[in-house]
Structure 1
Amino acid sequence: MPPRMSRAPDPILVIDDEADLRELLDISIRRMGHDVVLAGSLAEAREKLAQGRYSLVLTDMRLGDGLGIEIVRQLSAAPERIPVAVITAYGSADNAVEALKAGAFDYIAKPVSLEQLRSLVLNALGRQQRDSTDAEATAAEQAADRAAALLPGHSAAMQEVRRSLSRLARSMAPVVISGESGSGKERAARAIHATSGRAAHPFIAVNCGAIPENLMESEFFGHVKGAFTGADGERGGFFQAANGGTLLLDEVADLPLPMQVKLLRALQERRVRKIGASREDAVDVRVMCASHKDLAAMVAAGQFRQDLYYRLNVLALRMPTLRERGEDIPVLARAILDHLAVRYGDPRPKRLSPAALQRLVAYPFPGNVRELENLLERAYAFAESEEIELADLGPLDAGAERAGMMHAPAPAMAPTNYYAPWGAAG
């Protein structure tokens, strides 16, 4: 049987009514090795879309005969799911947010940075360029496997979460992940990153509540040598460390208001300035946020900036409590015990006795998955045989068992633990 030939990638459609910018984008994208089709108006763009196939559509937001967001809505509703990105005027963050909510894959601001343009094209085409439908199916299966490994469970609530993950992974828009402490918010962020076009780049998780306020700007944006007492050398911050990948701001509600202003500007301009530096550096970072607090209520109370909230809350995901997915406890317990066996070097993981498992399934877990992890780690250490018995679980929270709906406070974090740990449930 002859080998299957790879189909050449479809061209990129660029829509802009400024001839100079069209020419710049045409030259820049062709230098990346991609064919380009140009359109100077909304009407011409619709003609081009009706006549051919495209791997990416890049459109200005304001055209002479209409708005680019009309193209965004048209393509978002189409079954082909062609990635569409928008070009916005300098400082037009509201337009960018509107486009992302309408289904845009990403955006780039004028004046166009060629570095950011290259990153945008690579991220978009990384999902589109496949040799065959078989390869697409294999990639989708691998992505689903990665998500299931990070977020195990067969309950209806977790199946809905995993369905949402695939949609969230296709976009580069910010995501706010809500849910009680310990419900798995960081794991959800990792799963989105692992199934996105940024999977090969860094995932940096930062605990915003653990950073001293006087160090925040330096930790987020970096500093140059001599910028302040103790700055013995140049150092990048979280944004530089996550460049090309994803930055998770865990407990974002704990950011002080002055830092919220600086964060908003970095998100809008996609540029950061190290403390003491004379110039800004472009960064390509997808930002996700996690919080067990109600950010909308904090905005109403004046405790969280409204403009930052709307900039972050483009896409949303709610993680269910463990009480809502009690049927997942056996699957979660098995995965946790397997992980502990690797950590302890045991050739065979310990298993729960039927009585111990029954007790766990009946318990409401006010601390959610994190409480289950801590409880099983303690039981694993105390168990004297390969089977964890009821007595090895120790005393559970009797008050929680009676109430069934208690909310446990978030555990205290050491002030130097800026990065959230890998195993944290979130």
Structure 2
Amino acid sequence: MAVVISPTPDPITSSSPFSISKFIAKLKLRRSSKQKDQIQDEISHDPRPPLIPSPLPLVLPEHQHTLCQLGWTTLTFPSSSSHPSHHSSPTSNREPEPEPEPEPGPHPLQSAYLTLFLAAQQFFDLEDEKKQQWKHRLGTEEGWTKIRGEKEFITLRTLAYTPDILKEPAKRYWDLMGSHLCSTLGRISMSVGLPGEGEGDGLKGFVGPCNVMGEKEEDKTSTMLRIFRYESWERKIVAEAHADLGLLSCVVGDVPGLEVWNGQQFVDIERLYERERIRKGTNGVGGINGDRAGFGGKATLLSGRQLERFSNFRYPAGGHRVVSYGLPSPPSSKSLSAHTPVPNEAERKEKKYRHSIVFVLRAHEPTPVNSSTLETEITGKWAEPIRDVTAGELYERIRNQHFNVNIGHEEREAQRRRVREAKANGKSVEGTG
């Protein structure tokens, strides 16, 4: 079962540049020598060759290795700051320096997720009676769900069952993120010795039409776009530890809350993003309505259980959870730049929600899975070979081994009992989103 651990203090100060590598290095220093020896022993006994270098798009060099090691990494969008880096003094006798060339605007994905955030907030602000017309459809993951005291969310699968206010921004974000994750999957495919440059090559062959949001019911695929609103500033865990079921997921939030599992403890990754945003003096994308969505240009990429299986566990599924840290404290004066807005007490208390957008790319269900076509020197042989099984059938097998953290309390408790029974019988069962 997935482990739930209280948030741990972050050793990185607000004045330090953000780096997953530096953070992990500090965590490693805390491990006992026995733990380090055990981990090193596990690594040394893996006879498979190392992965082939294949840089992931929008991932900084120092963050490239964490997806294959931990199941998560950081997407960093190009800086879109409009502030000039050099200023001439008004009292200087020198000729004024020429104005720098204007920097490009936000990355298209940034623009798309910010627009979707604004539309989603308008949807969630509607009365529950109005949102009921988009209520969750039984037997599907589609529609609007509210778990009182915890969260509400809407899951989109096609435009046919998408509220009008969300249709245009959801379609734009889905298609852009779908294309990006398909490219990422191609790089991952090449890293394990499979083809990945052409459309449909290697692991990209599992994408099919899933990278484009369909318009009609018959266009529905296994992939989904899920938008959350987590409630209140109360300190609590609002989504238990779990891993996503699909190939790849991307999470972007507007208030820190996502934590990722590093094999030893949870890392409050979005608080690190927020500290970096404050250090740089940025205020979201383009400063639209003062929104901080994306923490100045960062999102979290997660491996799912399908990718874990298809890569023969070279890419582990990324464990994560969502936490509410309580009413945020005002930033210290030392961490503020000239461009950092300082919220007053009323503003801090007013924003009592955390919103997040989660895009989950899953394998196209009719695609056949034959382990022999996925085996390379780097992946090695599958312990349990698979032949002539569809991706949809394999997905059901995986799903039946895990419980869902995004269901009502009663149903969740029923699944917990099933988990305990499975654990008593020696089966491994964990949470999933």
TM-score > 0.5 by shorter chain: no
Greater RCO structure (CA 8 Å; 6+ sep): 2
* Structure showing greater Rg: 1
TM norm structure 1: 0.26
Higher helix share: 1
